[in-house]
Structure 1
């Protein structure tokens, strides 16, 4: 058989899967987002904005806050793994921080439901340690619970990227800063973090996109309003069969994530231009 013909034959099954499960649903969603019984137009987007504008703002704020906290904790974990002076603590942290990587979001949501409830493990522990009174126990099953779950779930992923990038740095600069009396915090923030900014940005961008698409966590933890876009999409489909508004919300989600991706690509392009210059 001709080798030129063999290549497309080998690629065809994978390409068919991509078209069937990714390209076709995306195209269908985009088309139905702009189609309503009145015809082509912005009717679905107008309805989505009127009904769920507060939820859209809530989603952006929740995901942005979660992403920022993921970045802070990832830098802290990676910095301690690189600069920590207690081998036992470093070994325990290396073994412990990766656990959430292997837990699906739906399981994480269920775990946090029992952990953050008013009579959950967190409050029972605080009461047992006499840090709070039983009457002072409050439920965190609201926007705080969503943030806690997202941060707990995504921090190991970003920390793994950041810690690997930090470990590959030239140790001579770190040792020179230590010899000059710089504190570990200053070394971390002024020497290490600027050099691993690319890995940190990649991890945070992927985390933002991932958290934007999660349905199980806000659905299981936050029974209040406002809620996230993914819950609104599921509600429109399951309760009303309204795929138009649901897909309009999906397009809004795509635009939000695309905006974050564009900012990342723009920054990466600037960094590359500076490196070449």
Structure 2
């Protein structure tokens, strides 16, 4: 009898915790795991229930350019997000002008509170040929009206995604940089190193893991947003999310839409694998 009590005590100890997290696990399973599994399975199932790769071939034949376009837009957006976020976070950490640091800290966060659908509509009004940006440039004499052009193409997508995601990545980076030991930076400054060199050679290597996390989360967001591609770009090629919505809305073809979704899963899976590999490498180096 004492042995039975001893063996059941661990289960009795973790049971309250399991009860508390069960609703969250159930929500994750129903809202994410089950739809993910269904989309992967039905991408390879035909109307008769047999296995087929026809849906995948159709997706490649009809929307191959859109897949490549999506990858290129995502990479360009992530590059711009990286550069701007590093610059802002670096100035927030190393800036020598208090009022400028305070103003920048107050201003850069505003896009966090703006929904993507509002960001897409704002981009349409700002980047169109007769939009606010060109109107300001023409009125100020910096642009000839005949040379005005619309940026509602891949450039508008990159700018909109970057504008929306830079504050999120900057928050992560600024917090990580603030936690770095300042003695190394102060020592470098005393040796004559400039702020830019301190940022690139001292701070950035120590927060690259945080930067990669922010970029991976931004990639997932870029791959899942529907409103911005539909509002900013009207022609082809376009983002995969628009083509998936088009396939479902006008054709009711969930199979090909699921096949397109596989490319999104693959892209995000590659990014997650790169992050896990880097994390494991750093952990092994630290253990040595």
Measured against the shorter chain, the TM-score band is over 0.9
Asked if 1:114 corresponds to 2:122, the answer is no
Cα distance change of structure 1 residues 8 and 181 upon mapping to structure 2, 3 Å threshold: closer
1:275 Cα offset (Å): 1.3
1:12 Cα offset (Å): 3.9
Equivalents in 1 of 2:21, 2:225: separation in Å?
Answer: 31
1:173 Cα offset (Å): 1.1
Aligned residue for 2:36? 26
State the secondary structure of the residue aligned to 1:227.
Answer: coil
What count of residue pairs does the alignment treat as equivalent? 276
Asked if 1:78 corresponds to 2:89, the answer is yes
1:3 Cα offset (Å): 7.1
State the secondary structure of the residue aligned to 2:135.
Answer: helix
1:40 Cα offset (Å): 1.0
1:184 Cα offset (Å): 1.4
Equivalents in 2 of 1:72, 1:4: separation in Å?
Answer: 45
Cα distance change of structure 1 residues 85 and 266 upon mapping to structure 2, 3 Å threshold: same
Aligned residue for 1:260? 271
Cα distance change of structure 1 residues 191 and 12 upon mapping to structure 2, 3 Å threshold: closer
Q: 1:129 aligns with which of 125, 131, 140?
A: 140
Aligned residue for 1:181? 192
- What stretches of structure 2 of length at least 5 have no aligned partner? 1-11
Matches within 5 A, 1:174-253: 174-253=185-264
Which digits, 9 at most, give the CA deviation of each residue in 1:27-54, with x for residues without a partner?
2211211112363121111110111111
Asked if 1:143 corresponds to 2:154, the answer is yes
Aligned residue for 1:16? 26
Equivalents in 1 of 2:237, 2:41: separation in Å?
Answer: 27
Matches within 5 A, 1:158-169: 158-169=169-180
Equivalents in 2 of 1:88, 1:6: separation in Å?
Answer: 51
Aligned residue for 1:273? 284
State the secondary structure of the residue aligned to 1:36.
Answer: coil
Higher Rg of the two aligned structures = 2
Cα RMSD between the aligned structures? Answer: 1.5
1:6 Cα offset (Å): 5.2
State the secondary structure of the residue aligned to 2:235.
Answer: coil
Aligned residue for 2:52? 41
- What stretches of structure 1 of length at least 5 have no aligned partner? none
Equivalents in 1 of 2:72, 2:207: separation in Å?
Answer: 26
Aligned residue for 2:68? 57
Which digits, 9 at most, give the CA deviation of each residue in 1:177-216, with x for residues without a partner?
1111112111111111001111111111111111111111
